[in-house]
DNA sequence: CGGCCATTTGAACGCGCTCAAGCGCGGTGG
DNA sequence: CCACCGCGCTTGAGCGCGTTCAAATGGCCG
């Protein structure tokens, strides 16, 4: 079963929802123009492929239309660290100077839209305040996410990191959802989760199983991750949910 | 001895160098105007004090004129993680929404300049391309720095983290220097270094001593940190120096 | 049914932590 | 001037969390 087919079951809002989110706030004519631009520059990548490699030349700016993307850095010994995970309607900025600071890796089948700088300038000319406000909000949210994760990467236990990971991604996946069922799909192997939270895949497994055995989560159906006891998870992760929501989710949603 | 007195010995360029760096690229009239703005809004904080607390309301934008600043996040159990260290001529963006995502902590006596949003807009009106270009370069460098550090925080050994820490700060401190003597001042306790690299102060001590015993560095005069064998340090840190320089240093320098 | 990949579990090791005591140095007050 | 104090650095001992290595199990697809 494809990733889209799976998430279609779990998420509300079908294909096209990303476009709505991204053009949200624009007037009608700008909206059609931007949507056209996005569709024109859209490209597909299969799960497991690299969209950009660290050190490659790249456009400064990508929009993720669909699928999950990991931003990876790696050491010579082969160890990989995922710096951030990018979800649909979010933005990838591989950094200035035209050279990417990390691998951009497709966790699932992915549709992204490379936005060349001159196109961006055109958009800005069309609707300057909205465009940059929106970008600034997205990148502030990304910074906050990374800081929060870094805190736990440096100071937290394995359990705390996993609990935080589950909470963060649940919040982000269901940010624009109104249903409260605490069920979502994590299209990542335990290896990839480990690369994200700084643990070996073996210990990710052990930690998830412990949470599962204690009834806090349910991973028996590995297409759906269920958080049974959100308060306990948030407590283990040392999260103040409302504060975290305000910080890591772009406000307009 | 004050921090300024110490660094005056080590660094080239006296007081006022920060102003020059920050207004670099502006025309003469803009330069005087910006310098005046900076001096008008400048505030001093003693070493050890907090400039902003996590969750506080704050201006969106600070310029560090002098001294070292740590951006800290902490867990309830008291563990602290330093997300980034800000040096003179660099910028603090405590994040959008007017609420700071972290403590802003003075590692030394510090002079910062809070720039309210409306002032920023005025500056932008005066010289729009320069201002935002410069800010974007600074924040791209900050992102790259944090990613590079996060890689080692999640995947590297204690030795690698310490070696990377030394290299990063040496590069940044001496970025605008032409002398190549590999001597600089680190105004941080081992406790604070530990909070930055995710190690206990005890282990920071052990690791520094080991590097020192092997002749790679010299910390006997704790006002000056000396890197004796830069290649070995860079090798331990798994750094490609030229690539790192390009990534983490704002280009105009 | 067989092959492949992800997950699970066990065993043993070791890195980095905690706790605790000793040392060195600068500042302060008698 | 020296005694004292406090803070940061140093070093030792012992422990525990998370790692590595290895093997078994499970699930999906050809």
Question: What pLDDT is attached to residue B129?
Answer: 58
| pLDDT at residue A39, rounded to an integer | 80
The domain locations on chain A are 3-148, 155-248
Distance from residue A72's CA to nucleotide C15's C1', rounded to whole Å:
25
Using left for φ > 0, alpha for ψ between -120 and 50, and beta otherwise, residue A89 falls in left
Q: Which residues share a beta bridge with A106?
A: A69
- Evaluate whether A184 touches A10 at the Cβ level (below 8 Å): yes
B147 neighbourhood in chain A, CB within 8 Å: 71, 73, 83, 101-102
What integer pLDDT is reported at residue A4 of this predicted model? 46
- CATH topology for B155-248 is Arc Repressor Mutant, subunit A (1.10.10)
Phi, psi of B42 (to 5 degrees): -70, 140
User: Measured in angstroms, what separates residue B194's CA from nucleotide D12's C1'?
Assistant: 20
Strands (E), chain B: 42-45, 50-52, 62-66, 69-74, 80-86, 91-92, 103-106, 110-114, 183-184, 217-218, 225-227
CA–CA dist B236, B250 (Å, integer):
25
pLDDT at residue A5, as a whole number:
42
pLDDT of amino acid A180: 76
With bands split at pLDDT 50, 70 and 90, how would you rate the model's confidence at A123? low
The more confidently predicted of residues B67 and B130 is B67
pLDDT value for A145: 96
Non-local (6+) Cβ contacts of B102 within 8 A are: A147, B54, B71, B72, B73, B83, B94
Mean of the pLDDT values across residues A156-169? Answer: 98
Cβ(B86)–Cβ(B111) under 8 Å? no
Partner-chain contact B147 A73, CB within 8 Å: yes
Range among A39-43, A106-110, B36-40, B176-180 rated most confident: A106-110
B3-148 and B155-248 in the same fold? no
More confident residue, A223 or B153: B153
pLDDT: which is higher, B16 or B235:
B235
Helix (H, G, I), strand (E, B) or coil at A82: strand
Residue A150 with chain B: CB contacts under 8 Å: 73, 81, 83, 146, 150, 153
Whether B245 and chain A come into contact, CB under 8 Å, resolves to no
Overall average pLDDT of the B134-162 stretch: 95
Q: What is the pLDDT of residues B83-140, one digit of tens each?
A: 999 999 999 998 777 889 999 999 999 999 988 777 766 666 666 556 677 888 898 9
- The H or E element containing residue B244 is helix B241-248
Share of chain A above pLDDT 70, in %: 83
The reported pLDDT for the residue numbered B201 is 98
A203 versus B3: which is more confidently predicted? A203
Among residues B60, B65, B70, B68, which one has the least CA distance to residue B94? B60
**Which residue gives the smallest C-alpha to C1' distance to C8?**
A205
Strand D nucleotides within a 7 Å radius of protein CB atoms: 8-13, 17-22, 29
Note the pLDDT of residue A128: 56
A10 has a pLDDT exceeding 50? no
Nucleotides of C under 7 A from a protein CB: 5-11, 15-20
Asked if the model's pLDDT at residue B55 lies above 80, the reply is yes
**Inter-axis angle of helices B128-155 and B241-248, nearest 10:** 130
Q: Which residue has the tokens 């996993």?
A: A162
pLDDT score of A238:
97
- Geometric angle at alpha carbon B149, from B232 and B68, rounded to 5°: 95
pLDDT digits 0-9 by tens, B206-227: 999 999 999 999 998 877 999 9
Q: Is the pLDDT of residue A20 over 90?
A: no
A146/B contact by beta carbon, under 8 A: yes
**Is residue B46 a contact partner of residue B109, using CB atoms and an 8 Å limit?**
yes
pLDDT tens for each residue of B175-207: 877 777 899 999 999 999 999 999 999 999 999
Instruction: Specify the pLDDT at position A240.
Output: 94
| Helices A128-155, A158-173: crossing angle, 10 deg rounding | 160
On average, the pLDDT of chain A sits at 86
pLDDT band at A52 (very low <50, low <70, confident <90, very high): very high
- The answer to whether the Cα torsion of A183, A188, A193, A196 is positive or negative is negative
We find that the CATH architecture of domain B3-148 is Sandwich (2.60)
């Amino acid at each position: 079963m494809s990733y889209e087919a799976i998430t279609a079951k779990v998420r509300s809002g079908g294909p096209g929802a990303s476009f709505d989110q991204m053009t949200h706030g624009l007037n009608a004519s700008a909206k059609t123009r931007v949507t056209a631009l996005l569709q024109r520059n859209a490209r597909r990548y299969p799960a497991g492929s690299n969209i950009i490699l660290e050190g490659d030349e790249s456009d400064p700016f990508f929009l993720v239309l669909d699928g999950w993307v990991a931003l990876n850095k790696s050491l010579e010994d082969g160890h990989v660290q995922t710096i951030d995970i990018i979800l649909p309607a979010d933005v990838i900025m591989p950094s200035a100077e035209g050279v990417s600071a990390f691998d951009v890796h497709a966790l699932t089948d992915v549709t992204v839209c490379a936005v060349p700088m001159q196109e961006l300038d055109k958009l800005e000319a069309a609707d300057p305040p909205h465009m940059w406000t929106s970008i600034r909000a997205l990148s502030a949210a990304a910074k906050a996410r990374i800081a929060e994760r870094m805190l736990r990467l440096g100071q937290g236990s394995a359990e705390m990191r996993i609990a935080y990971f589950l909470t963060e991604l649940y919040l982000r996946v269901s940010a624009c959802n109104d249903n409260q069922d605490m069920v979502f799909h994590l299209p990542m192997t335990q290896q990839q989760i480990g690369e994200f939270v700084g643990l070996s895949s073996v210990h990710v497994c052990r930690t998830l199983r412990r949470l599962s055995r204690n009834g806090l989560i349910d991973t028996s159906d590995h297409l759906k991750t269920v958080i049974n006891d959100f308060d306990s998870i948030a407590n283990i992760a040392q999260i103040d949910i409302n504060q975290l929501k305000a910080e890591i989710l772009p406000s307009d949603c």
